[in-house]
Amino acid sequence: MSKYDRYHKPALGVRYDHHPAFGAEWCFAGGKKNDPKTYTVTMTARGFQCDCPGFKFRGKCKHVNQIGDCLVSPIGWMIS
């Protein structure tokens, strides 16, 4: 199962495990200029998760927001 017990759920009532992008991962370049990092957003059956420090701390971050906003829009749901 998942590393954390926090999930970002942009669309309530949506079955993520039925979404075409279920199980997909999105990588973001992040971190500081002298300490670059890559963060990964994952779509799980219960919502989105990110491995950046902000998500671990708050249960949400700009990465999951960005993916969530994209995927729950009517256009996003049609992309598979």
**To the nearest whole angstrom, how small is the minimum distance from the Cβ of residue 36 to Zn ion?**
14
Within its chain, how far is the Cα of 20 from the centroid?
Answer: 14
**To the nearest whole angstrom, how small is the minimum distance from the Cβ of residue 63 to Zn ion?**
3
Q: In what order do the strands lie in the sheet with 35-44?
A: 25-32, 35-44, 47-50
43 scored as a contact of Zn ion (CB under 5 A) = no
Of the two residues 50 and 71, which places its CB atom closer to Zn ion in the complex? Answer: 50
Give the dihedral sign, CA 69/73/79/80.
positive
19 scored as a contact of Zn ion (CB under 5 A) = no
Interface positions with Zn ion (CB under 5 A): 39, 50, 52, 55, 61, 63
